[in-house]
Structure formats: structure tokens, C-alpha cells
């Protein structure tokens, strides 16, 4: 008898079966950082991945660490199944983030910068008025993530005041990386950090005094918005009021130059009311993400990913109108391999078509200068009934969405902000068109935002259909969002917070029953995050019953695979590549009558219970086969950009090991976009 057979089967209540979500998120960021070290990738793209890892870490501190610190202050227990206290989790986070930041700057200084110099791209080493600190000039309010300098001084100023410490705040309008002109006897791509310029000229800011030290620093602040929706009579005004407070929320992290003296570092920690563990001393610019500008400023195609032209389904090329094309059958778009332009054309044609009576759309993130929004504005001006559900609380896009709401309202559109207590995260677009003897609903449903820029960077699915049941379902959901009263049951869509979670649980249980009866049983699911404990337990039960389960989870995964007697049949992998994996696809074998859904929702508590989400079926067999092949099988076969989650919570990078190298994203580029 094997050792595994002698081990008692763990209870599903065992907290050891659930990995910590914060540490899992940090593990994802480490996988992103590994891309910066991958010599198979173009050099400027590696720099970009380094910057992305820095940006990810910023948001991690602004949201996740800030929330944990608040739990420590209030004495609240940490959520989920982790038995550790918030303070214990923060300690583990501190240890891992310090290791991660050290590795980021090692990669910058020892890997990326030397490689850039070989390509003649160099960072050459060495405003607003300074703020002297005395009783009349207290420590200034430091903006979240802004570049600042703490300066130690000796001597007296023009008024006879003896200087000790001053703060120089770098204007936000200035670029942090500045290209040197060729006439300065520089190389073709020589850059200097703004911090180096300020260091060089800091003496000029304090005439008659001696600068004895100058050190850059940056504070990261709590960026959660706290809006009491029940009490707020005007949600928009309440969000606007919170946006200013976000810039000066409680500090959660302090970054300083590695040569900063202990005296100065401790002084700053006192000002921001932080502990020594919250201090990060870095060998380089305190904001790595600003180096992203170099990627755009350097015109070197050989150091970037090769360009590609997104493909178009043949029917959209040959049809006279997009409505005609949709009437011939459902159309599936796989971005960025296929173009986002048909979605924009859908709204534009609807805006110009005299037969179109109404357009209804949800907007979560759209980006500046949105072609979709332009088309909605034109439709409203043309007198069509335009209803837009805008989520004002889309994190870090709140201000942009407020401006968007104003623009649409001025054009005559009806703008609503969704349901109190629930974020509207579903991606839906409904066009009502008058046709012979009937009104027909044309629908677009997606896994990603109506954002033409991220549609070139994120993998997402979009479905264009005029299926009557789906059209009626979408119409009912919009009624929920724009009016009061109960809405009848949906026919084909699964909707959070009502049916999505329980319907997924039922389908997982159905696979378990098939396995127990000796029938083939399998689940393949792809998502950004897996956190919700009810789903995790259901997957454990299905695994115990013999269901083969493959999970493709980009970021956080709290499920622990490979536990004897619990998750032996579960495999988890993450793919990190050129494009950010964003598709959510759920496939159930169902004894040969397979079901497949695409969705805007991850398997997280917030998506199931605190957001308005939808999952939509892919019913046409040819499209279902295509999604399984493109989004599931190709990613399970990937052995160059995939990582496998191990039993201990670590990830192991997949390698070809003598087999043919496979890259899901690379293969899809060749197949759908015709890339070289």
C-alpha cells in the first residue's frame, strides 16, 4: 500500500486546501517579471514586462495591502479560509514583496540596462519651487505615487533661518524619462532620468545653503473609494468627492533611493506613519513603470514584437451590412487575433440606420477617444433612443467614466449608473431594429470591455447574434438595470448575482454524477482568478468522484491541486505571454452533450455575489468547437508560455522537453491574424 493510500482524506473544511489569495497574486506578478528575463522575447518588450510588474505591484499595495492594514487597525478577521490573522498575512506579504522588488531592480540594473546599452540605448547617469520645512512650512501633502526628493541642508537662508530638511516635488506634467537631443553629442537613443536632472541642479534651488543630501522617494497610498451608496442621494457626486481623497489616502508603502540615510528614511516613515517593514530602498528610479515610455520613444522594430493585422471573419467582409451578416448566423470574434472593428461598426451602422429604434449598452472601461462612445453620441443626436449603463466605480477609471456620462447626457442619451450595491460588469450591447413584420434584437456579448485599445492587448471573446432567446434575455437584463420591479427568469443567459453561481455549481455536480456512473466526465475552465470557496469545494468533490478537471487561471488561484484524495484529478496552469489573458470560458463534457459558456465573470465572490455579470452560451457547434480548440486545447498544449501550479502553491514553468515547442498565442496569431 502506498503512502498516499495510508493518508486520511482531508476534510473540505481544512483551511490548508485553500491557497492565500494575496500570495497567489504576488506569484502571478513574479511570472510577469520572469518575462523580463526571457531572452527569447524582444528586448524592449522585456523592459515593458518589467514595467508592468511594477505597475501591478503598485495596485497590489493600493488595494490589497491597504485593505489588510485596515483590517489590522479595526481588528477584523481576514476573509476567506486562511486561518492566519491579517497581521500574519501582511508579514508574509512584506517578505515576498521585498524579495520581488529586489529582483525587479536586479533585473533592471544587471540584465535590462546592459542589454539596452549593447543596442545603443542608454540611460545617462547624472522646476517647481522647493518646500523648506520649518514650523511655518510643515511637511507637504504628497500625492499618491508622485516623485519627490527629501533634501538635507546646512547653512542659513536669506531670512536667517537655519535649514535642515526640504522637500522638492517633481511636477507631474514633466516626463520622468527625457530623451537627450542629438546635438548634445549623445547617442541615437540616450535618455536621462528626471531624477538625475533634479539631483544635478538641486543646489540651485537653495542659494547660499549647502545641500548635504538629496534622495528621491515615493509614497503609495490607499486608493480604495469609500462611497456609501445607500446614503448617497447622488452617486456621481459622491464618487467625485471621493476621487480627491484617493490622492491623499493613508500611506501604505514608502520607496526611497538605496543611498538614503537611515536618519532621512526614518524621518519620512514618521511623516507617513509607516513602519520599517513598509520601507523599500531601491537602486534606481522609484517608479519603474515610468520606463515604459522608452518602449514608445525608441523606434526599433527589431527590439519589439512584430506587428500584425487582426483578421476578419469572411462573412463580415462579403456582407453588405453587419445586420445581414448576423442574420446568417452567430459571429464569434477572438480579440486581439481578430479585429475589434466589427464591434465599432456594429454601433456605427446602428447609429446611421433609420430602421434602428434603440441602442442599449453597458460601459465599464472605454478609454479616451472611444470610437464606440462617438457612435453612441451620434445615435443620440440622430434622435434614437440611446440608453447607457455606466459603471462609475470601475477602479481607477472613475473620473473618465464621469466625463463619459456627462458627454452622453449632453448628446441626449439616457445614462444610468446601475444597481445600488452591485457593480455592473457585464459586457452587453443591444440594438433594436424594425424589420418586416417584427422588431428584431441584435446583440453583442463579450468577455472584455468596449475598449478599442485593450482589445489589441487583451485576449477576449465577443459574440454577435440575433438569437431570439438571447436577445430577449439581454432586453430583460437592461430592464433590471434601468427600472424597478422583478424581471422574469432568463432563458439562456446565466446571470450574477442570481443564477450564475448556482448554475455553475449544478454543472460541476452533474459532471461528478456522470463520473460516479462510470461515464466520461471532464471540466475545462479558463479565467483570470479562482477564489470563491463554494466553487473550489465543488471542484474538489468532483475530483474525488473522478472528474478530470483542467483549469487555466491567469492570476489568483486559491485552489490547491494534487492533494491526495481531494484534488488528484485537478491540474492548474497559467499562461503569461505577449497578450494579457482575459477570456473566461467554461466547458462541461456533460456525457457528450457538451455545454460551453463565455463570460465577463471570474470565479470570485465579488463576481458571483456583488456584481451584475452574465455568462452566455456558444450554441452553434462550429463556433463551440472553435472555442474549445482556440481557448482551451491550445492553452493546455502550450509548453513555452505556460506555468503549472504545484501542490505547495509555487509555479513551475513548462518546457518543450524534446517535444515540439507550442505557444497558444503564437499559433492563434498565425491562424487568425495571418502573422508571420
CATH superfamily of 15-118: Polyphosphate kinase N-terminal domain (1.20.58.310)
Query: pLDDT tens digits, residue range 524-564?
Result: 999 999 999 999 999 999 999 999 999 999 999 999 999 99
Q: Which residues are catalytic?
A: 425
Q: How far is CA 66 from the centre of its chain?
A: 18
Q: For residue 182, is pLDDT > 80?
A: no
How many CA within 13 A on the CB side of residue 204?
Answer: 8
| Separation CA 172–CA 33 (nearest Å) | 27
Query: In this structure, what are the phi and psi dihedrals at residue 33, rounded to the nearest 5 degrees?
Result: -60, -35
Q: Are 307 and 670 in contact (CB under 8 A)?
A: no
Q: For residue 44, is pLDDT > 50?
A: yes
Q: Are 175 and 148 in contact (CB under 8 A)?
A: no
Q: What percent of the chain has pLDDT over 70?
A: 90
Q: For residue 244, is pLDDT > 90?
A: no
Query: Sheet of 177-179: strands edge to edge?
Result: 121-124, 189-193, 177-179
pLDDT for position 129: 47
Out of 315-324, 480-489, 608-617, give the one with best mean pLDDT. Answer: 608-617
Quickly list DSSP for 457-479.
TEEEEEEEE--HHHHHHHHHHHH
Q: Residue holding cell 459603471? A: 391
Sequence-distant (≥ 6) Cβ neighbours of residue 510 within 8 angstroms = 588, 590
Q: For residue 116, is pLDDT > 60?
A: yes
Q: Are 41 and 91 in contact (CB under 8 A)?
A: no
- Band (pLDDT 50/70/90 cuts) for residue 14 is confident
CA distances from 152 to 126, 135, 165, 266, 267 (A): 19, 16, 5, 13, 11
Burial of residue 151, with CB atoms counted within 10 A of its CB: 0-12 exposed, 13-18 middle, 19 or more buried? buried
pLDDT higher at 243 or 651: 651
C-alpha angle 357-361-364 in degrees, rounded to nearest 5 = 165
pLDDT higher at 90 or 225: 90
Closest CA to 673 of 292, 337, 271: 337
CATH architecture of the domain with residue range 314-487: 2-Layer Sandwich (3.30)
Q: Are 477 and 428 in contact (CB under 8 A)?
A: yes
| Separation CA 506–CA 502 (nearest Å) | 6
pLDDT for position 6: 40
Closest CA to 149 of 208, 210, 200: 200
CA distances from 416 to 142, 173, 484, 548 (A): 35, 34, 13, 44
Joined grid coordinates for residue 506: 449544478
pLDDT higher at 156 or 475: 475
Report helix angle 86-106 to 66-74, nearest 10: 150
Joined grid coordinates for residue 414: 439616457
Tell me the mean pLDDT in the region 385-394: 89
CA distances from 451 to 1, 368, 455 (A): 57, 9, 6
Sequence-distant (≥ 6) Cβ neighbours of residue 362 within 8 angstroms = 388, 389, 391, 424, 426, 427, 428, 429, 481
- Band (pLDDT 50/70/90 cuts) for residue 83 is confident
Sequence-distant (≥ 6) Cβ neighbours of residue 364 within 8 angstroms = 391, 394, 397, 424, 425, 427, 449, 450
Termini Cα distance of the chain? 54
- CATH assignment of 496-673, among 3.30.870.10, 3.40.50.2000, 3.30.70.20, 2.60.120.620: 3.30.870.10
Domains 15-118 and 496-673 belong to one CATH topology: no
pLDDT for position 421: 86
pLDDT for position 227: 55
Provide the CATH topology of domain 126-302.
Answer: polyphosphate kinase like (3.30.1840)
| Separation CA 514–CA 506 (nearest Å) | 12
Q: Are 443 and 478 in contact (CB under 8 A)?
A: no
Tell me the mean pLDDT in the region 251-273: 94
Q: 3-class SS at 549?
A: strand
pLDDT for position 142: 75
Specify the DSSP class assigned to residue 301.
G
pTM, 2 dp = 0.92
- Band (pLDDT 50/70/90 cuts) for residue 658 is confident
pLDDT for position 403: 87
Q: For residue 1, is pLDDT > 50?
A: no
Q: Where are the domains of the chain?
A: 15-118, 126-302, 314-487, 496-673
Q: Are 335 and 455 in contact (CB under 8 A)?
A: yes
Q: For residue 151, is pLDDT > 60?
A: yes
Closest CA to 480 of 424, 406, 432: 424
pLDDT for position 247: 63
Largest CA distance in the chain: 90
- CB neighbours of residue 410 within 10 Å: 11
Joined grid coordinates for residue 57: 505591484
Mean pLDDT estimate for the chain: 90
Strands in 20-158 per DSSP E: 121-124, 131-132, 148-154
Q: Residue holding cell 486520511? A: 8
Q: 3-class SS at 524?
A: strand
Q: 3-class SS at 142?
A: coil
Joined grid coordinates for residue 512: 461528478
Query: pLDDT tens digits, residue range 429-474?
Result: 999 999 998 999 999 999 999 999 999 999 999 999 999 999 999 9
Amino acid at each position: 500500500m502506498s503512502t498516499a493510500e495510508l493518508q486520511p482524506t482531508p476534510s473540505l473544511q481544512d483551511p490548508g486546501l485553500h491557497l492565500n489569495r494575496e500570495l497567489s497574486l504576488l506569484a502571478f506578478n513574479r511570472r510577469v517579471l520572469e518575462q523580463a528575463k526571457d531572452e527569447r522575447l524582444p528586448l524592449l518588450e522585456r523592459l515593458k514586462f518589467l514595467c508592468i510588474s511594477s505597475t501591478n505591484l503598485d495596485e497590489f499595495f493600493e488595494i490589497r495591502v491597504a485593505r489588510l492594514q485596515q483590517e489590522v487597525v479595526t481588528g477584523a478577521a481576514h476573509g476567506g479560509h486562511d486561518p492566519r490573522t491579517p497581521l500574519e498575512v501582511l508579514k508574509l506579504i512584506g517578505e515576498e514583496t521585498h524579495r520581488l522588488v529586489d529582483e525587479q531592480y536586479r533585473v533592471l540594473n544587471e540584465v535590462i540596462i546592459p542589454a539596452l546599452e549593447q543596442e545603443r540605448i542608454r540611460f545617462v547617469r547624472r522646476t517647481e519651487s522647493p518646500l523648506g520645512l520649518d514650523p511655518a512650512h510643515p511637511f507637504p501633502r504628497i500625492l499618491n505615487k508622485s516623485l519627490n526628493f527629501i533634501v538635507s541642508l546646512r547653512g542659513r537662508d536669506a531670512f536667517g533661518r537655519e535649514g535642515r530638511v526640504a522637500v522638492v516635488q517633481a511636477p507631474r506634467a514633466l516626463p520622468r524619462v527625457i530623451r537627450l537631443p542629438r546635438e548634445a553629442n549623445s547617442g541615437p537613443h540616450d535618455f536621462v532620468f528626471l531624477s538625475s536632472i533634479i539631483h544635478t541642479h538641486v543646489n540651485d534651488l537653495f542659494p547660499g545653503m549647502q545641500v548635504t543630501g538629496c534622495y528621491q522617494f515615493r509614497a503609495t497610498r490607499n486608493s480604495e473609494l469609500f462611497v456609501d451608496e445607500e446614503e448617497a442621494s447622488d452617486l456621481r457626486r459622491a464618487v467625485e468627492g471621493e476621487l480627491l481623497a484617493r490622492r491623499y489616502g493613508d500611506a501604505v508603502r514608502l520607496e526611497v533611493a538605496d543611498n538614503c540615510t537611515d536618519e532621512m528614511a526614518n524621518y519620512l516613515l514618521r511623516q507617513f506613519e509607516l513602519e520599517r517593514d513598509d520601507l523599500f530602498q531601491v537602486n534606481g528610479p522609484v517608479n519603474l513603470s515610468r520606463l515604459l515610455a522608452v518602449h514608445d520613444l525608441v523606434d526599433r522594430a527589431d527590439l519589439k514584437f512584430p506587428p500584425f493585422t487582426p483578421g476578419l471573419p469572411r462573412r463580415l467582409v462579403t456582407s453588405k451590412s453587419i445586420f445581414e451578416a448576423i442574420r446568417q448566423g452567430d459571429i464569434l470574434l477572438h480579440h486581439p487575433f481578430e479585429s475589434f472593428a466589427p464591434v465599432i461598426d456594429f454601433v456605427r451602422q446602428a447609429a446611421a440606420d433609420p430602421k434602428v429604434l434603440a441602442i442599449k449598452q453597458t460601459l465599464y472601461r472605454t478609454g479616451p477617444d472611444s470610437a464606440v462612445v462617438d457612435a453612441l453620441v451620434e445615435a443620440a443626436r440622430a434622435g434614437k433612443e440611446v440608453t447607457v449603463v455606466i459603471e462609475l466605480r470601475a477602479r481607477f477609471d472613475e473620473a473618465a467614466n464621469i466625463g463619459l456620462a456627462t458627454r452622453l447626457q449632453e448628446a441626449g442619451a439616457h445614462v444610468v449608473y446601475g444597481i445600488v450595491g452591485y457593480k455592473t460588469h457585464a459586457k452587453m450591447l443591444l440594438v433594436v431594429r424594425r424589420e418586416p413584420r417584427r422588431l428584431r434584437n441584435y446583440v453583442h456579448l463579450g468577455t472584455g470591455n468596449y475598449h478599442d485599445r485593450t482589445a489589441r492587448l487583451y485576449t477576449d471573446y465577443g459574440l454577435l447574434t440575433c438569437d431570439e432567446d438571447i436577445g430577449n434575455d439581454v432586453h430583460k437584463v437592461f430592464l433590471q438595470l434601468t427600472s424597478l420591479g422583478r424581471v422574469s427568469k432568463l432563458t439562456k443567459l446565466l446571470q450574477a448575482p442570481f443564477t450564475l453561481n448556482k448554475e455553475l455549481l449544478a454543472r460541476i455536480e452533474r459532471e461528478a454524477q456522470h463520473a460516479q456512473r462510470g461515464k466520461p466526465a471532464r471540466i475545462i475552465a479558463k479565467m483570470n482568478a479562482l477564489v470563491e470557496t463554494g466553487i473550489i469545494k465543488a471542484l474538489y468533490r468532483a475530483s474525488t468522484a473522478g472528474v478530470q478537471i483542467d483549469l487555466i487561471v491567469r492570476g489568483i488561484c486559491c485552489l490547491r491541486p494534487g492533494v491526495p484524495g481531494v484534488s488528484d484529478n485537478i491540474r492548474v496552469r497559467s499562461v503569461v505571454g505577449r497578450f494579457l489573458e482575459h477570456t473566461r470560458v467554461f466547458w462541461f463534457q456533460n456525457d457528450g452533450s457538451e455545454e460551453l459558456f463565455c463570460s465577463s465573470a471570474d470565479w470570485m465572490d465579488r463576481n458571483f455575489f456583488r456584481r451584475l455579470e452574465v455568462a452566455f452560451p456558444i450554441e452553434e457547434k462550429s463556433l463551440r468547437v472553435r472555442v474549445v480548440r482556440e481557448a482551451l486545447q491550445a492553452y493546455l498544449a502550450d509548453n513555452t508560455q505556460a506555468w503549472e501550479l504545484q501542490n505547495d502553491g509555487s509555479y513551475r514553468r513548462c518546457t518543450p522537453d524534446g517535444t515540439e515547442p507550442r505557444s497558444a498565442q503564437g499559433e492563434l496569431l498565425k491562424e487568425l491574424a495571418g502573422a508571420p
